[in-house]
Chain A
Amino acid sequence: MLVESLGALDSRSRRHDVCVIGSGPAGATIALALGRAGFSVILLEAGRESWDEKSQAVYEGDLYGAPPLLPLSVSRLRQLGGASNHWGGWCRPLDAADFENKIDGIDTAWPIGVADLEPWLPEAMNILELSEFGPDVAFGEALREVPFRYSPPVNFGYKYGEEFRRSDRIDVALDSYVTGFDVDGGRIVHAKVRDSGGADRRVAARRFVLCAGGIENSRLLLWANAQSGGRVVPEPAALGRYWMEHPHFTLGQILLEDDFPFEFDQQGTVFISPTGAAMREQGILDIGLRIHPAKEGVARKLITELACVAPDLSDKVFRRFGKRLLCGLSLRASWEQPPRPYNRVVLGDRVDAFGIPRTDLHWQLEDFDRRTPRIAAGMLGAELAARGIGRLRLERWLDGLEDFPEDDETGGNHHMGGTRMSRDSRLGVVDPDCRVHGMGHLYIGGSSVFPSAGFANPTLTIVQLALRLADHLAGSLAHDGEQHGTVRVRGEVRT
């Protein structure tokens, strides 16, 4: 069932096996998978079914560093379905190389491999309503064309709202802001919940899964730790740290002297990426080079400019232009930034309407974030020129003589890291099963567990990880040997 606040559930006798915090792609997927498997689930959503300004204001925070990202109250949504209410639907699984270290001194390795997520790829694609991914196609020895697929995009609150309402296994409580946890005997026993009227309640469950988002997971755990004297995350060295985005910038323009050999996809884009071997050889991280047709004026300007540096080639392209053939392309890219401990979420001095410290997000790009796009674009430009397809003109900032542009897209609103996965609790917050190091019964879902980011948009990987975690929880709960059944209710939701 779906209720407007946790108080509406108090009179019900119900045992909840799992408390899921957050109803975005990770939380909704875990709740649905476990509910359908016969477990009782309470899903706590801090916002309401629809967006409202007052609830959204909780997400306001401060950005430190450069270049600027979108304001934190814009780049995410506090409502049923979370950020799936405004995502773009672009999907691609991470590549095998994304799970490995590619460069000495830059820790991009995951403690799991691509094969550990592949079993959940078909179901994740089904949830996101994706068609099959075609194979990568080699473009020279070092590059490959990589396919993306596009979700409608699935809005989890809209798609699954009716199932939530009808379910007798999943209780969804809106207006339920988790503000901390009770710890007893080395395990989480309650989530502390406050509603917009200021009423505090506690939710007990056999397992807790925090899926509040790529920033909120860190913020809530930092606050819970501050309140509890460090008892919620007993090994917090990495908590809030290694936060990542996918830098998104324009790299240049391409002028075609011959037909473009690729077919644009339904978003009018072709993606080119280096092979894993090329990344290691060149000393770069992963990158998706996004090529799409440019406006006619861009092609005209490129031809004019090329006339000054290569007049014969300019004449050749101008003849194509006269035949109204495709001549101008824009080259954009999103890429993997090195995970760094100083890029992090911390508790700010300002507080939200509930008295919880707001987010201070420290994020900056570094010189290495120029190296990956500069070298990858060079590889593409060389291949295009060698094949007589076209010539690439690079943006000036790639030379390192200018700052990163501040009026470009900057990031993809892909909030990753902060509670990264590692076998080593000094370098990560969760273990390979997404369980918080040193704490029983507390798990984390979502992109905050990513140890590194590849270049692919994260939602498909988030859903794969969520399905994997749901299966792990199902096994763990079954292993408990506890019976599902009745519950005592004493002014709170109890298992």
Chain B
Amino acid sequence: MKKISSTPPHAGRRRLLGALAVVGSVPAAARTRSSAMPQASTGVSSRQGPADAAFMADGVVSRERWLLRRDDA
């Protein structure tokens, strides 16, 4: 089975997204105590995720990808 390196190349970006997401939601004291720790919070980090960026860059239009009604076209 394929072995993945301990640090995937894009982990830094996802870690950064996680860090951006969690700051502001952790109590100030806790944030101060743990400012250097890894942030792996989920959910909010997805909001401006890479999928939207990939969509913006996608120049191919495929009708099959749209779930349309019969009377749409």
Which residues does A use to contact B, with CB under 8 Å? 49-51, 53, 56, 60-66, 68, 70-77, 79, 83, 85-90, 152-153, 155, 157-158, 248-250, 252-253, 267-269, 290, 292, 294-295, 297-298, 301, 305-306, 308-310, 312-313, 330, 332, 362, 364, 378, 381-382, 384-386, 391-396, 405-409, 412-414, 457
Contact = CB atoms under 8 A, between A and B. Distances in A.
Contacts of B68: 309-310, 313, 385, 391
Interface string B36-70: 11111111111111111011100001110111110
A382 B67 contact: yes
B13 to A, nearest CB: 8
B68 to A, nearest CB: 6
B25 to A, nearest CB: 6
A305 B59 CA distance: 9
Contacts of B4: 62-66, 68
A248 B67 CA distance: 22
A456 to B, nearest CB: 12
Contact of B65 (A83, A298, A396): A396
Given A152-B25, A362-B1, A51 B56 contact: no
A391 B3 CA distance: 39
Nearest to B51: A250
B30 A85 contact: yes
Given A85-B34, A86-B22, A409-B14, A74 B27 contact: no
22 contacts: A50-B34, A62-B6, A64-B3, A66-B2, A68-B11, A71-B8, A74-B40, A77-B38, A79-B34, A88-B21, A88-B41, A89-B25, A153-B26, A155-B26, A269-B43, A305-B61, A309-B66, A313-B72, A332-B49, A381-B67, A392-B67, A394-B67
B23 to A, nearest CB: 11
A292 B47 contact: yes
A290 B51 CA distance: 14
Contacts of A51: 33-34, 36-37
Contacts of B14: 70, 409
Contacts, number: 191
Contact of B52 (A75, A155, A330, A364): A330
A406 B49 CA distance: 12
A385 B4 CA distance: 41
- Give the interface size bracket for B toward A: 35 or more
A88 B47 contact: no
A294 B55 CA distance: 12
B49 A408 contact: yes
B33 to A, nearest CB: 5
Q: Identify the 6 closest CB pairs spanning chains A and B, nearest first.
A: A250-B51, A381-B67, A51-B37, A88-B41, A74-B38, A310-B72
A408 B1 CA distance: 21
B30 A155 contact: yes
Given A70-B14, A83-B40, A332-B46, 6 more contacts: A71-B11, A74-B15, A250-B52, A393-B67, A407-B13, A413-B42
A252 B65 CA distance: 9
Contacts of A409: 14, 42, 45-46, 49
A364 B61 CA distance: 31
Given A85-B30, A362-B1, A391-B72, A90 B52 contact: no
B27 A391 contact: no
Given A301-B55, A408-B49, A158 B37 contact: no
B61 A309 contact: yes
A457 B40 CA distance: 14
B52 A71 contact: no
A50 B73 CA distance: 60
A386 B70 CA distance: 10
Contacts of A385: 67-69, 72
B27 to A, nearest CB: 6
Contacts of B34: 50-51, 79, 85-86
